[in-house]
């Protein structure tokens, strides 16, 4: 599943390719990708020009000359930017025909991805962006105390609380494991049992790990490969996720399911 670094990588590549291009037509083959009424989406996105590419959490934000198109890749969503009629397969569900003879193709084997249109005044004030917490790459001066209060309301393990996006946004299964390892926190601990200093450590680790992952264009593992010809390299820097031995103490790592998600951690180093 693409997490913040992989989505940020897609954003950067798309930004180079598609800025200032007009969307001349849209072909929607599977309506389930579009969260809006289909005609509302088409009426508002068609014939618009893409003026910028933004991101918040794991959402790609296509800034149009009027309004925004939000896109969440979920498990397997990928974009391809190619000359018209050079790629097609049964997993391509949405095609944006651009003004330069190229198309932006949205491929999604699992069909879990979502797109929607937001008016200029709606983007950050309505679901889903309204519900997102701290973005460790975008938000330089977060209100840590408010975020911590939000964390203390969670009645779940810290791993699950960090995956729900409302305290920190952008972390998924891989990077939560890495952040909790660097913060020396056991992922099975209850979220409302995390001290303020530990929470600050989680925030700082999120910044450093996500920054390094973005520099390496994200992680390429079995469950996620990027599109647009970008291969990530951060899998070479993972400390615990998918690993067997703790790189600090050399003890065997624990592998457990937390709320259904496979989790790796060190019982000695993470308390």
Nearest to Zn ion by Cβ — which residue? Answer: 246
Q: What are the helix and strand counts (H, E) for the chain?
A: 6, 10
Q: Which residue has the tokens 């994200």?
A: 218
Among positions 162, 163, 167, 269, the unique one binding Zn ion when judged by CB under 5 A: 269
261 belongs to the catalytic site: yes
At residue 57, φ and ψ (nearest 5 deg) are 55, -130
Among 79-87, 105-113, 230-238, 245-253, the segment contacting Zn ion (CB under 5 A)? 245-253
271 belongs to the catalytic site: no
Q: Judged by CB under 5 A, does residue 249 bind Zn ion?
A: yes
Q: Judged by CB under 5 A, does residue 248 bind Zn ion?
A: yes
Q: Rounded to 5 degrees, what angle do the CA atoms 117, 77, 177 make?
A: 110
Nearer to Zn ion, 249 or 256 (CB): 249
What is the DSSP code (8-state) at residue 121?
Answer: T
Smallest gap from residue 187 Cβ to Zn ion (A): 13
At residue 237, φ and ψ (nearest 5 deg) are -110, 0
Contacts of 137 (CB under 8 A, 6+ apart): 4, 8, 170, 207, 210, 211, 214
From the candidates 15, 22, 184, 261, give the one annotated as an active-site residue: 261
Q: Judged by CB under 5 A, does residue 246 bind Zn ion?
A: yes
Q: Judged by CB under 5 A, does residue 266 bind Zn ion?
A: yes
Residues engaged in binding Zn ion (CB under 5 A): 246, 248-249, 266, 268-269
Residues labelled as active-site residues: 2-3, 58, 261
């Amino acid at each position: 599943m693409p997490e913040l670094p992989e989505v940020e990588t897609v954003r950067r590549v798309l930004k180079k390719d598609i800025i200032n291009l007009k969307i001349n037509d849209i072909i929607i083959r599977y309506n389930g990708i579009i969260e809006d009424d289909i005609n509302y989406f088409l009426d508002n996105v068609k014939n618009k020009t893409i003026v910028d590419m933004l991101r918040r959490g794991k959402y790609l934000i296509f800034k149009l000359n009027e309004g925004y198109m939000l896109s969440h890749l979920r498990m397997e969503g990928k974009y391809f930017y190619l000359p018209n009629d050079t790629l097609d397969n049964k997993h391509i569900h949405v095609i944006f025909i651009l003004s330069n003879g190229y198309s932006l193709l949205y491929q999604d084997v699992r069909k879990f991805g979502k797109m929607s249109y937001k008016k200029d005044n709606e983007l950050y004030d309505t679901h889903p962006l309204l519900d997102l917490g701290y973005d460790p790459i975008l938000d330089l001066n977060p209100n840590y105390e408010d975020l911590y209060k939000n964390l203390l309301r969670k009645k779940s393990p810290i791993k699950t609380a960090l995956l729900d996006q409302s305290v920190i946004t952008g972390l998924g299964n891989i990077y939560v494991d890495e952040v909790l390892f660097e913060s020396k926190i056991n992922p099975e601990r209850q979220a409302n049992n995390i001290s303020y200093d530990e929470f600050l450590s989680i925030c700082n680790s999120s910044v450093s790990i996500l920054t390094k992952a973005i520099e390496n264009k994200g992680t390429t593992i079995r469950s996620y490969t990027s599109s647009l010809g970008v291969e990530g390299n951060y899998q070479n820097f993972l400390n615990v996720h998918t690993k067997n031995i703790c790189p600090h103490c050399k003890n065997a790592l624990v592998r457990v399911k937390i709320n259904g998600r496979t989790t790796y951690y060190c019982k000695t180093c993470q308390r």
